[in-house]
Amino acid sequence: MTLSVPGSADLRAESWPAPARAVLPDDDPFYLPAPGYEQAPEGTVLRSRPVELAAFGLVPLRATAWQLLYRTTDLNGRPDAAVTTVIAPVGGVIADTPLLSFQCAIDAISSRGFPSYSLQKGSRAIGTFAHVELLCFVDALKRGWALSIPDHEGMLGAWGAPREPGYRTLDGVRAAQQFAPLGLDADCRVGLWGYSGGGLATSWAAEVAPTYAPELDIAGAVLGSPVGDLVETFHRLNGGWHAGLPTLVVAALRRVYPAFDAAIETHISEEGRAILDRAARSTTGAAVLRLCRYNLDRHTSSLPIAEVLVLAELVAMFADLELGTVAPEVPLLVVQSVHDQIIAAEGIDALVDRYRAHGAQVTYLRDRCSEHLGLLPISTPLSLNWLADRFAGHRPTPSATTTVGSVLRLPAGHRGLADLLRGAAQALFARPLTPSASRRDDVVRTEPERPAA
């Protein structure tokens, strides 16, 4: 396939064979774009290859998948390249097949945590959340949807950086739509979904979509426990059981903000910087275990970390990181645990208020009985059913905040729960992901039949 780019030489999209084994992205030439890729339009597929996926790196997933290297944009508007994993729907593409872009909670800056690696058969990625997420998003395949799962942090692993996770997500959608073997319509409906760090990336995608990718037909976005306030989250988690998470964010932001890196070099001791460097090579789970109760103040050489973070140059950085300064134009479903031990509900309350103040339509569900890790699986049926209604053309649910005992008690929360559990079992035991006929029929329903519940 040859891509004609005005004012430049033709750029050929390369077709690579399936990898013989899973190789870390840092060591895999597939991830390095050919010279001249910068001239291609955003979302252009630069390279593709089939890939075999597996639950926990061991149990083959009975699905057809490819990896796509595509042109995208970084934080500062410069050309970049990223990889997304696209999966064909069970039974193949039929009329009006939608595309779901699922943003994993990568929450690490080592390439070992990138979903393009960790979801591969033979990967060694213990401690990544993508393995658990696979058991949730596999139900989307059983519904007859196609999937795009982008490495939204990019090759730098820039967890917490603003805007660019949205660019990579939306360009991954563009790449999936133009990738002929997947078979999607170029203007197919798109849904966005992510949880925790993936919810943060999904929030950025929803925010930047109106200006960055206005041609995409995005039906709605589900934000599961997105990180509403990075600074507050750092102060609350630093020194606690989950101190590894803010430490990873510090290590990541050093890579994209020179002023922040300079402040770390000035105010954090050599031993502290070595801990940050070691965290940068870890998966999320490994970093959380290793840095449990770690307090970055142990290694400040001059100012305490609280004073470092209010330096003028860092205040500007944190303002750049803030979500909710513009309104997404697509309807949003936000789900959050009231007693979340990692992401404070108050921060998500404030984010929802900011979105609504700018005119966004937000259905916000607060769950009393869950905690951070448990809310993803129990909110999966609700999230997928809400997206199915958006794909089907039903009116969005009202913009309101509701606190419930458990989202599983809602009709849309438990409808399809048995199918979700069945799909997870099929994935764990390498069984074909066979959908019911009624679920395939849902794909082609385009006219509203009932009001959304």
- Name all domains of the chain by residue range, CATH numbers in brackets: 15-229+326-444 (3.40.50.1820), 230-321 (1.10.260.130)
Question: Confidence class of residue 16 from pLDDT cuts 50, 70 and 90?
Answer: very high
Question: Confidence class of residue 227 from pLDDT cuts 50, 70 and 90?
Answer: confident
pLDDT tens digits for range 129-184 = 888 899 899 999 999 999 999 999 999 888 889 999 999 999 999 999 999 999 99
Among 81-90, 236-245, 267-276, 425-434, top mean pLDDT goes to: 81-90
State yes or no: pLDDT of 125 exceeds 60.
Answer: yes
Q: Span 352-356, mean pLDDT?
A: 97
Write down the pLDDT at residue 380. Answer: 95
SS3 (DSSP) at 110: coil
State yes or no: pLDDT of 373 exceeds 70.
Answer: yes
Question: Confidence class of residue 196 from pLDDT cuts 50, 70 and 90?
Answer: very high
Amino acid at 341: Q
Q: What is the percent of the chain where pLDDT is above 90?
A: 58
State yes or no: pLDDT of 446 exceeds 50.
Answer: no
Choice among 60-64, 152-156, 227-231 with the minimum mean pLDDT: 227-231
Question: Confidence class of residue 3 from pLDDT cuts 50, 70 and 90?
Answer: very low
User: Which residues touch 149 (CB under 8 Å, ≥6 apart)?
Assistant: 84, 85, 86, 87, 101, 102, 103, 104, 115, 116, 119, 137
DSSP E strand boundaries for 175-294: 189-195, 217-224
What are the structure tokens assigned to 329, written together? Answer: 């134009």
State yes or no: pLDDT of 437 exceeds 70.
Answer: no
Mean pLDDT over each residue of the chain, to the nearest integer? 89
Question: Confidence class of residue 5 from pLDDT cuts 50, 70 and 90?
Answer: very low
Q: Span 26-50, mean pLDDT?
A: 96
Write down the pLDDT at residue 388. Answer: 96
Contact between residue 45 and residue 109 where contact means Cβ atoms under 8 Å apart: no
pLDDT tens digits for range 79-98 = 999 999 999 998 888 888 99
Q: In what order do the strands lie in the sheet with 401-404?
A: 14-15, 45-51, 65-73, 79-87, 146-150, 99-103, 189-195, 217-224, 332-337, 362-367, 401-404
DSSP 312-340: HHHHHHHHHH-S-SS--SS-EEEEEETT-
- 204 phi and psi, to 5 degrees? -65, -40
Question: How many Cα atoms are found within 13 Å in the side-chain-facing hemisphere of 137?
Answer: 35
Q: What is the percent of the chain where pLDDT is above 70?
A: 93
Q: Span 291-303, mean pLDDT?
A: 84
Question: Confidence class of residue 450 from pLDDT cuts 50, 70 and 90?
Answer: very low
State yes or no: pLDDT of 37 exceeds 90.
Answer: yes
Contact between residue 319 and residue 311 where contact means Cβ atoms under 8 Å apart: no
SS3 (DSSP) at 355: helix
Contact between residue 149 and residue 392 where contact means Cβ atoms under 8 Å apart: no
Choice among 204-213, 312-321, 359-368, 378-387 with the minimum mean pLDDT: 312-321
